[in-house]
Amino acid sequence: MFVIELAGVRIGIDNRYPFIERQCRAFLCEGEAAAFTVRASSDDILEESNHGEFSDAYCESICLYRHICEKIADYNVFLMHASVIEVDGRAYAFCAKSGVGKSTHTRLWIKNIPHARVLNGDKPLLKLEDDGSVTAFGTPWNGKENWGENISARLAGICFLERGVKNAIRPADEEEIIPRLSHQLYLRGSRESVNRRLMMMDALVRAVPYYVLACTISDEAALLSYRTMSGAQE
Amino acid sequence: MQINKDFTIQKVGASYVAVPVGETSKTFHGMVRLNETGAFLWKQMAGKDCTEADLVDALLGEYDVAREIAERDVHRVVEQLKENGILV
């Protein structure tokens, strides 16, 4: 049992395997007080391992994050599947179907944009603030590349990536935001928690600008998305 | 027919989104998007058994539309929900 802080919420982790504690090392905090505690039952772990060929320790970690996402909805926090990059205190999120090139585009930002660092490469948390803004938070669950830090930044925009033969970015139409976004939000769980997350999704739709980027693997692609997204709110 | 009770519906942006909750979320992945009419019909079918004719009457009681348009809209929404296994 140990305590981590995610998106400003203290969470107790009642673990079976040491794997998760190592994974969470950058997020550990002192003391035993926690807003809630999560544990994965052997049934949870078994069900998870049926889907693939992963170790029980890894499956425990996945189950624990699911449970966290269910409970943390009470604190106006939810999971979005995205790569989030922080530049000078602002966070930029990239969403894409798997294999499209989220990691590649992230790598191009890090290479081309001064001060850019990966906040979380795969499963960041977003917090809906009282003023309607959204803050992105790093988490210990950060994808196979393991890119991420225990940092947070105000979300400045969300960009849906697509492969293209040339680079072009445009604002997303209101009609396409919801279907695109819904693929990237974790919406499973109890009715109460899912309802809370849908309300947060409704707020998220209005909270930040959205873009669609058709891109090639090139420095120009990263520079185009950075210039467009960073200029939008200035 | 009746809506599978393991779904929740909420307005998100300009449309309505229905997603499975609890056990159903393990077998049904994804969501259903509905417009205003679809969401109205959904609410008619939530928690009570009704026929397409009941839905047409409910729609005509709420909106100023011609009967054949109401019938077409009801049929379209019902088929969409049936395809997704949401109507039982």
Residue A234: predicted pLDDT: 41
Taking contacts as CB-CB distances below 8 angstroms, the residues of chain A near B14 are 174-175
Distance from B12 to chain A by nearest Cα, in Å?
Answer: 4
- The residue among A59, A75, A91 that closes a domain is A75
Per-residue pLDDT in tens (0 to 9) along chain A, 234 residues = 999 999 999 999 999 999 999 999 999 999 999 999 999 999 999 888 876 678 999 999 999 999 999 999 999 999 999 999 999 999 999 999 988 999 999 999 999 999 999 999 999 999 999 999 999 999 999 988 899 999 999 999 999 999 999 999 999 998 899 999 988 998 888 999 999 999 999 999 999 999 999 999 999 999 999 999 999 544
Query: Looking at residue A52, what is its pLDDT?
Result: 67
Task: Indicate which of B19, B24, B25, B29 best probes the interface with A, i.e. most A CBs within 10 Å of its own CB.
Answer: B19
Q: Are residues A151 and A227 in the same domain?
A: yes
Question: Tokens 């599947």, residue?
Answer: A81
pLDDT > 70? residue B75: yes
- Separation CA A199–CA A184 (nearest Å): 15
Q: Both A133 and A221 in a single domain? A: yes
Q: Is A63 in the same domain as A125?
A: no
End-to-end CA distance of chain B: 6
Q: Name chain B contacts of A191, Cβ cutoff 8 Å.
A: 8, 21-22
Whether residue A124 contacts residue A188, with contact meaning beta carbons closer than 8 Å, is answered with: no
Taking the Cβ of residue A172 and every Cβ of chain B, the question of whether any pair is shorter than 8 Å is answered with no
Based on the domain organization, do A208 and A108 belong to the same domain?
A: yes
Q: How many domains would you assign to chain A?
A: 2
Distance CA A215, CA A229 (A): 15
Mark whether A12 and A84 lie in a shared domain: no
Residue A222: count other Cβ atoms within 10 Å of its Cβ. 25
- Answer whether A187 sits within 8 Å of B12, measured CB to CB: no
Q: Where are the domains of chain B?
A: 7-83
Q: Structural domain of residue A23, as residue ranges? A: 2-75
For residue A205, the domain's CATH number is 3.90.228.20
